[in-house]
């Protein structure tokens, strides 16, 4: 924890973010690479989303740039949530209890590890299992509202275009806001939540053993490779999920797989 804090104290952006909330601060203290990991996920998400949007819209890419921006906003919110919620959390003195006046549930939540593989102190199995369920619910909610915001912006843009130009026809069917958000949230809360638990477990427990005494660049490269692999794995799961739920037609799902990289 102190090592992570020392690393981040030398970074102006990290120092500012650590003052946002105790949750942000405790994650920065627990993981010296959290800024790097966030950068990886945002880069993968934005590049994947822009590439998929360009392929989908082609000549209309810039004409429909408001739609593109709305979809990128959804991806960015999801990427931040996927780094933040499963990240290891430093347990500071007195912080784990959640305060003397906290409810039983609040104390249990404060006592949970950031992910089921966190080993900074002994956690009962019940708390580890509870942490998984809690993180899944957090990502479900984050995914629901991220997608709700994105689809609402898109639908608002469509309505504005149709009002300003009655001759303009939307080439894509209007999305069902609640259905779209619910399906997106389910994918984020189940597939992505479980995969990112595993990713954090490998980074926190396996990498330190394998890379002890090696230059820091090796760990950076391994983290990048792991998260690239996770994005590819997630895109394959998205294809299956999209076909099963009808999010995309079967013929469209492979082409849209890159979007799962953006949504992880």
Q: 228 in the Ramachandran plot: left (φ > 0), alpha (ψ -120 to 50) or beta?
A: alpha
Q: Please tell me the predicted confidence (pLDDT) of residue 262.
A: 47
Q: Please tell me the predicted confidence (pLDDT) of residue 132.
A: 95
226-261 core/surface letters (b: 16 or more CB in 10 A; e: else)? bbeebbebbbebbbebbbeeebbeeeebeebbbbbb
Q: Please tell me the predicted confidence (pLDDT) of residue 98.
A: 52
Give CA 233 to chain center in angstroms: 15
SS3 letters across 80-142? HHHHHCCCCCCCCCCCCCCCCCCCHHHHHHHHCCCCCCCCCCCCCHHHHHHHHHHHHHHHHHH
In order along its 264 residues, the chain shows pLDDT tens digits of 444 555 555 567 677 777 777 888 888 888 889 999 999 999 998 998 888 888 877 787 887 787 788 888 888 999 999 999 999 888 764 445 555 566 888 888 888 998 999 988 889 999 999 999 999 999 999 999 998 998 888 888 888 888 888 888 777 677 778 888 899 999 999 999 999 999 999 999 999 999 999 998 999 999 999 999 999 898 889 888 888 887 655 434 444 444 444 456
∠ Cα 251 254 257 (to 5°): 140
Query: CB-hemisphere CA count at 13 Å for 127?
Result: 18
């Amino acid at each position: 924890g102190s090592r992570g804090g020392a690393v981040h104290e030398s970074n102006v952006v990290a120092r500012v973010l650590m003052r946002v909330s105790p949750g942000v601060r405790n994650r920065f203290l627990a993981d010296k690479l959290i800024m790097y990991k966030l950068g990886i996920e945002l880069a993968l998400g934005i590049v994947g989303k822009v590439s998929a949007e360009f392929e989908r819209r082609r000549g209309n890419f810039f004409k429909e740039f408001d739609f593109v921006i709305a979809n990128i906003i959804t991806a960015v919110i999801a990427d931040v949530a996927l780094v933040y919620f499963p990240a290891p959390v430093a347990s500071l003195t007195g912080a784990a209890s959640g305060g003397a006046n906290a409810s039983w549930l609040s104390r249990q939540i404060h006592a949970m590890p950031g992910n089921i593989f966190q080993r900074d102190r002994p956690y009962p199995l019940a708390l580890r299992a509870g942490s998984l369920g809690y993180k899944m619910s957090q990502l479900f909610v984050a995914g629901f509202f991220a997608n709700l915001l994105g689809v609402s912006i898109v639908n608002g843009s469509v309505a504005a275009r149709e009002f300003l130009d009655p001759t303009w026809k939307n080439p894509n069917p209007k999305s069902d806001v609640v259905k779209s958000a619910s399906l997106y949230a389910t994918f984020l809360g189940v597939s992505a939540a479980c995969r990112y638990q595993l990713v954090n477990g490998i980074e926190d427990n396996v990498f330190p053993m394998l890379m002890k005494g090696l230059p820091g660049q090796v760990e950076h490269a391994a983290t990048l490779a792991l998260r690239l692999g996770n994005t590819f794995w997630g895109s394959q799961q998205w294809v299956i999920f999209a076909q099963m739920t009808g999010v995309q037609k079967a013929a469209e799902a492979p082409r849209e797989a890159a979007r799962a990289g953006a949504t992880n």
